[in-house]
Every structure is written in C-alpha cells, then in structure tokens.
C-alpha cells in the first residue's frame, strides 16, 4: 500500500500545475456546497425562530366583506363577529374544536408610568386559553385566569420590551404588581411575556370581560380563535373551512359559498409552507454546489486520462511482468480519489470556517421593521450529517473521475506499449 501511495505522489508531482488547477475546482465545489448549506440553514433557522410564536394547531376567524349579493342585500357588506359565532362554534364543531377563544382589540392608547410612556398601544381583551392558542411564552408572573374574567379585574400582561421601556431602573420580575396608566385607567401588571419578534410589541393583554365592559363592546368579537384536532390534511381543512362558512352564513345572512365573508387564518399553513420552502432551498443549494463540483470532477478525469496516456509504457511493463487489471484499476482510481479527497477536504474546511465567520459576524442579527423586529440569519452553520454527505460525495466523485481512465489503462496491450 505504501508503494502505491508513493507512486501516486510521484504521478501528482509530475502534473503538479494541472493537479492544482483542477483541485481548485474540486475545492470550490465543496466550499460552495458547505457555504450554501450554511447560509440556507441560517435562513431556515430564522424562519423557525420567527415562527416559534405560532401554535400550529390554531385557526383564527375574522369578519370579512361579502363578495356576493344575498337575499336582496348587495355585496360589500362587512361581517362583524359576535357571541353567536362563539356559541355556534362550540355547538356545531365540538368534534374537532377543543377551545373557542374570543378576543377584542382596542387601539390608540398611551401607556404611562410617571415620565415614562408608550404611544400607539393596542389593548387586546383575551380569555385564559389565549396563551395556549397563540403560543405566548410567559417570562414571569401569570396569565389571565377565570377569576380575572369573572371579576372583570383591571390587570395586564405586558411584553418584556414594554416593561423595560416603562420601568428602566427595575428588573423585569420587580415590575410585577406595579400599576400603569392606560388611557386614563389604572391597570396592574400581573405577567410579563417574551417579546414577539414577528409582531408589534405594543400590545397589552387584559381580561376579555374587562375590555368589553369598559369600552362598551356589547356582544361583539374582533377575532375568534380555536384550537383544532382530528383534521389530518389539507383537504380535511378545506372541508372544515367550507362547513364553517356555511354555518356562519346562517347567523350573518350571507351566501353559503362566499368564502370572503370570513377571513380564516389556518396557522398550520405556515409550517407547511415553511417546510416546503426549506426543501426547495436545500435542493437549490445542493444543486448549485454539485454543478461546481462536477466541473472539478471532469477536470480530475481529464488529468487522469492525460496521466494514463503519459504512462502507457509503464502500464505495459506492469502488465508484462504479471500485474492484474484490477491492480492497475485500483492504482488509477486511488490516485483520482486522493486528488479529489485532498482538495475536497480543503474546500470543505474553508467552507466550515467561512460558515463560522458568518455566524460570528451576521448570525443572530435583528432587522428593525418599525412595528416589529425579526431575526433574518440565525446559526448559519452545517451539521455533521452535511459533512458526512460531503465526504461521501468526495469519495464517489473521485472514484468516478478515475474509473474511466482506469478502464482505458487496462486496455493497453503490453507488446504495443513496449514498442511505443
């Protein structure tokens, strides 16, 4: 084996410049595969992080606008949800709906604590089940409970960011029990939730019953959320939404097939679309890297063909003194694998270092979009599985690059080679 490696080293030295030029193409291919996979992972991880605040078993219903005339009423009528929608949902869809969660939005408030204040704040009146349906993560304190609802307490759950702005000198947990002025009404802070990077931080959560009473909302509902079960696929979800629209049309007197009368947001669509985007992104990045790698493999194959031609006499002598075809094939293929492997690993190492550089410089960067903040590049690195696949690609590519030149080498007839 040592003799074979020495012979391979000698052959590479004889074609040093050609080997380096071709090896650069191989290294570039592996470098691109690793870097593109790392960049793709950074984008995918940001998707997953930014969508972490969604519960994917939740469906949200909003009032829409009719697009069809019905029973003498023209299209364009706004639909306003109310208690009847919640009651209908609990009654008619109990087989697939586990929680029905009404909520109200009242916006345009100024919230103050002494000289510290926030403007453009939205108060959202919610029920205790809201936190589960919206994957709200509490950092300290508690969420709204049944007693808050019954007694219509003036209590709030605020985001971490809002608490920091209103109470800059206090630790987050020290603000529990403190009072703030919300549009001239005093509310007590009972819970602090993690800042939602994908939506406005200026949303405060109060008991649904409290907001209904204070702001005289009657039986109106702005959003009706529900957690669902036993809806296994897209077709079943479409059937559920069609049935829901038909049931709601009996309450609000619109055409049973007018899907625009209600706006239905199925959060499970988000994860399905994200998974689809991940697959497309991964496939595209692998293809780009592999195309570059192919050019390097073709170059290695050409080098091996030239090497075989230059060593025609050598192979003829080997055949004459008893070398088997397999020995020559092994030597040529092994030489190709060594060239591809060495330069491939160099490219892979540079790719890993570059991914670590990206992680250190642009990883976890936050983009401020005014009303919301989002992280657009998180942990742009590659895992062991990607490196293992890249290693397999190196070995296979090297073997393929050397296989056809090796076949040509064993076809050399000893007598003709010695004459040449």
Q: What is the pLDDT of residues 349-388, one digit of tens each?
A: 898 888 888 887 776 666 554 444 556 567 777 777 777 7
Domain shared by 33 and 45, yes or no: yes
Domain shared by 276 and 253, yes or no: no
Domain shared by 43 and 156, yes or no: no
Residue 391 sits at the vertex; the CA angle it makes with 21 and 405, to the nearest 5 degrees, is 50
Q: Using 50, 70 and 90 to split pLDDT, how confident is the model at 42?
A: confident
Which of 247, 267, 287 terminates a domain? The answer is 267
Query: Mean of the pLDDT values across residues 63-85?
Result: 92
- Structural domain count, the chain: 2
% of the chain with per-residue pLDDT over 90: 32
Helices 16-50 and 268-310: angle between axes, nearest 10 degrees: 180
DSSP string for residues in 318-347? HHHTT--HHHHHHHHHHHHHHHHHHHHHHH
pTM for the complete prediction?
0.60
Domain shared by 42 and 67, yes or no: no
138 forms bridges with which residues in the sheet?
A: 193
Domain shared by 71 and 220, yes or no: yes
Domain shared by 207 and 300, yes or no: no
The more confidently predicted of residues 94 and 372 is 94
Which of 232, 267, 302 terminates a domain? The answer is 267
Instruction: List pLDDT tens digits, range 175-221.
Output: 999 999 999 999 999 999 987 644 556 889 999 999 999 999 999 99
Domain shared by 415 and 361, yes or no: yes
- Tell me how far apart the alpha carbons of residues 416 and 420 are, in angstroms, rounded to a whole number: 6
Range of the domain at 294: 2-52+271-419
User: Any residues with CB less than 8 A from the CB of 60 and at least 6 apart, and which?
Assistant: 223, 224, 225, 226, 264, 265, 267
């Amino acid at each position: 084996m040592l003799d074979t490696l020495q012979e391979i080293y000698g052959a590479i030295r004889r074609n040093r410049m050609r080997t380096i030029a071709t090896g650069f193409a191989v290294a570039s291919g592996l470098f691109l595969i690793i870097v593109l996979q790392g960049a793709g992972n950074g984008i995918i991880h940001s998707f997953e992080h930014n969508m972490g605040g969604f519960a994917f078993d939740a469906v949200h219903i909003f009032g829409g606008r009719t697009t069809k005339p019905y029973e003498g009423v023209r299209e364009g009528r706004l639909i306003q949800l109310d208690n009847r929608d919640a009651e209908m949902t609990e009654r008619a869809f109990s087989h697939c709906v586990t929680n029905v969660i009404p909520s109200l939005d009242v916006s345009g408030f100024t919230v103050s604590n002494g000289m510290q204040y926030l403007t453009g704040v939205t108060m959202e009146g919610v029920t205790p089940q809201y936190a589960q349906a919206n994957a709200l993560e509490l950092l300290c304190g508690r969420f709204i409970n049944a007693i808050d609802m019954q007694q219509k307490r003036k209590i709030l759950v605020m985001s971490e960011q809002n608490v920091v702005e209103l109470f800059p000198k206090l630790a987050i947990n020290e603000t529990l029990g403190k009072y703030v002025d919300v549009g001239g009404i005093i509310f007590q802070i009972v819970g602090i939730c993690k800042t939602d990077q994908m939506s406005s931080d200026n949303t405060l959560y109060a008991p649904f019953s409290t907001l209904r009473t204070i702001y005289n909302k009657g039986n109106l509902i702005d959003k009706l959320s529900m957690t669902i079960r036993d809806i296994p696929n897209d077709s079943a979800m479409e059937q559920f939404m069609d049935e829901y629209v038909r049931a709601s049309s009996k309450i609000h007197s619109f055409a049973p097939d007018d899907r625009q009368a209600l706006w239905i947001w199925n959060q499970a669509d988000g994860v399905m679309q994200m998974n689809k985007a991940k697959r497309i992104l991964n496939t595209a990045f692998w293809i780009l890297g592999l195309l570059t790698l192919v050019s390097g493999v073709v170059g290695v194959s050409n080098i091996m063909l030239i090497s075989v031609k230059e060593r025609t006499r050598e192979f003829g002598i080997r055949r004459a003194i008893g070398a088997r075809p397999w020995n020559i094939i092994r030597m040529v293929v092994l030489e190709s694998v060594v060239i591809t492997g060495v330069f491939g690993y160099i490219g892979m190492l540079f790719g890993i270092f570059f991914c670590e550089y990206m992680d250190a410089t642009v990883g976890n960067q936050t983009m401020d979009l005014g009303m919301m903040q989002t992280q657009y590049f998180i942990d742009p690195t590659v895992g062991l599985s990607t490196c293992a696949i890249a290693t397999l690609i190196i070995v296979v590519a090297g073997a393929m690059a050397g296989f056809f030149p090796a076949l040509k080498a064993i076809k050399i007839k000893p007598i003709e080679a010695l004459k040449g």
